[in-house]
Chain A
Amino acid sequence: MLKIENLHATVADKPILKGLSLSINAGEIHAIMGPNGAGKSTLSYVLGGRPGYEVTEGSVMFTPSPRHAGLDPVSTAAAPEWTPDQVRGDEGGMRNDEGGEVDLLALDPHERAAAGLFLGFQYPVEIPGVSNVQFLREALNAQRKARGQEPLSGGEFLKVAREKAALLKMDMDMLKRPVNVGFSGGEKKRNEMVQMGILDPKLAILDETDSGLDIDALRTVGDGINSIMRQPDKAVLLITHYQRLLDYVQPDFVHVLAAGRIVKSGGPELARELEAHGYAEIAA
């Protein structure tokens, strides 16, 4: 689903990622752990296309196959056709063919979202005056339009939104409030997961989604991730400092990121090893 090869990236001309390679297949959950300053957040922003994060070398190919059907409460079987302008094979743009591979780095952030990528922010942004539901409905329908799907009506959208809010134990009233404004740290992270549920991505990159969560919220968020993303045609990249989220969301693979590269990979046991011995020893 995601193939990162020899990725080099700079922020403000400072090299942060220095030859990172990583492959993620559909159905897998990967965790990236690593000390502060290793480049974990940079990796998530590079994959999400944040301006200012320059890729200087390497490639990222994204294969959101089988085709991303998105949310379709009416008929889940509907396989959307892509309109010609979405098929930009020559320049590595979006393709939605069976098994179609996409040059992720050639896409704008909104196109990456439409292709099936979701970035859970470490610090979700407050946007005064813009209501969560309004923005999410517009975002979802923009994604659906890009995929050649019909927009969801207000009623259909609210049904999905209610369902996901309930899954994450979030009050529907909060979803009507301006995006993240006045939310606690934990509520913001929960809101990220509600958004993920509504947008229904193929690949979720979750940047320290566990930070700022109390124990109960951690369990709720963990259950949410499992329920939304643990499916044969989906994949998750969890970026975290700690073992504790991994108690709820069992990773298939754990990687250690240090100084801009993956220095060690292993199974779930690697996370416990790190917790016991620290990064310094393992990454050395």
Chain B
Amino acid sequence: MTTAPLPSRRDEAWRYSDIEAVAAAWPLPAPESIIVPAGGSFARAIVQDVGGIRQIELVLGKGAVASLHVLNIGGAYGRIELAVTLHEGADFTLGAAQIGGGEQNLEIVTTVTHAEPGATSRQVVRSVLGGTATGTYLGKVAVARDAQQTDSAQDVKAMLLNRSATANAKPELEIFADDVKCAHGCAIGELDAMALYYLQSRGLPPGEAKKLMLQAFVAGVFDGAEDEARLQELALAKLGELV
């Protein structure tokens, strides 16, 4: 069990959270711990479809490779927290999508620590939000002082289906080494009206046209996932509920 005090909105990592839901779940059980030994590999698909808070600590040993694919779609409040530590030459990939409608509050919070030199991390996160839903991605990349030749990238995009939905995105870099490559990109937008019209002019009803574009927006996130077909199917079904 964690002995940490209940977080509040003043805590940066919980700033957009549904604090009532957090309080109801508090104290949280100890995070799930996954250790990938030196040279090992690990892959997992995580589907969050009932709500709740899920914390995972992932440690990659020297030269280890891990890929996580996350689909965050369920419950009134669904939070997935990843704390990843990379040792020398390790390689971490995250492909995540969160899709929410109604009054859902969905969060993905990652901290990727490049503790030693030469590790790579790639994070791609896509959010699709309708209704008055809130989707948050907080992604911190920390590069330790001697973690030279770190190569890290974050690619974060959110699509709002109505003006009443909210997307928060905060890629964050904390770099203490001087020979590193850390890229991050972040964009929040709406479906392109002209593209939607183009698709409709060919005979697609508005809902189908939107679904097709959203499918394309999310596509790619699950490439190479453990359970790619199932993830795509679940994502598509959830998108169908929103349009």
| A115 and chain B: residue at smallest CB distance | B203
Given contacts A51-B193, A114-B203, A139-B203, whether A129 and B208 have CB atoms under 8 Å apart is no
**CA separation between A67 and B217, bound complex, in Å?**
38
Q: Can you list, as one digit per residue, whether each of A130-141 has a CB less than 8 Å from chain B (1) or not (0)?
A: 100011101110
Given contacts A127-B216, A135-B212, A138-B208, whether A121 and B203 have CB atoms under 8 Å apart is no
Contacts of A178 in B (CB 8 A): 216
Does A260 touch B at the CB level, under 8 Å?
Answer: no
Asked whether B220 lies within 8 Å of A108 as measured between CB atoms, the reply is no
Asked whether B208 lies within 8 Å of A142 as measured between CB atoms, the reply is yes
Contacts of A143 in B (CB 8 A): 203
Contacts of A129 in B (CB 8 A): 213, 215-217, 219-220
Asked whether A142 lies within 8 Å of B205 as measured between CB atoms, the reply is yes
Q: How far is the CB of A221 from chain B (nearest CB, A)?
A: 18
Counting contact residues on chain B (CB < 8 A from A), the size range is: 20 to 34
State the interface size on chain A (CB cutoff 8 A): 32
Contacts of B199 in A (CB 8 A): 127, 130, 135, 139
Asked whether B217 lies within 8 Å of A109 as measured between CB atoms, the reply is no
Does B4 touch A at the CB level, under 8 Å?
Answer: no
Does B168 touch A at the CB level, under 8 Å?
Answer: no
Asked whether A125 lies within 8 Å of B198 as measured between CB atoms, the reply is yes
**CA separation between A130 and B212, bound complex, in Å?**
7
Asked whether A135 lies within 8 Å of B202 as measured between CB atoms, the reply is yes
Asked whether A127 lies within 8 Å of B206 as measured between CB atoms, the reply is no
Does A146 touch B at the CB level, under 8 Å?
Answer: yes
**CA separation between A170 and B85, bound complex, in Å?**
50
Asked whether A108 lies within 8 Å of B195 as measured between CB atoms, the reply is no
**CA separation between A199 and B194, bound complex, in Å?**
20
Q: How far is the CB of B189 from chain A (nearest CB, A)?
A: 12
**CA separation between A119 and B219, bound complex, in Å?**
28
Q: Can you list, as one digit per residue, whether each of B185-204 has a CB less than 8 Å from chain A (1) or not (0)?
A: 00000001111011111111
Q: How far is the CB of A135 from chain B (nearest CB, A)?
A: 6
- Give the most central of B203, B208, B215: most A CB within 10 Å: B203
Given contacts A125-B198, A127-B198, whether A139 and B204 have CB atoms under 8 Å apart is yes
Contacts of A39 in B (CB 8 A): none
| B220 and chain A: residue at smallest CB distance | A129
**CA separation between A156 and B197, bound complex, in Å?**
27
Partner of B201, one of A48, A126, A128, A146: A48
A110-B201, A139-B202 known; 6 other A-B pairs, CB under 8 Å?
A: A50-B201, A109-B201, A110-B204, A128-B216, A129-B217, A130-B199
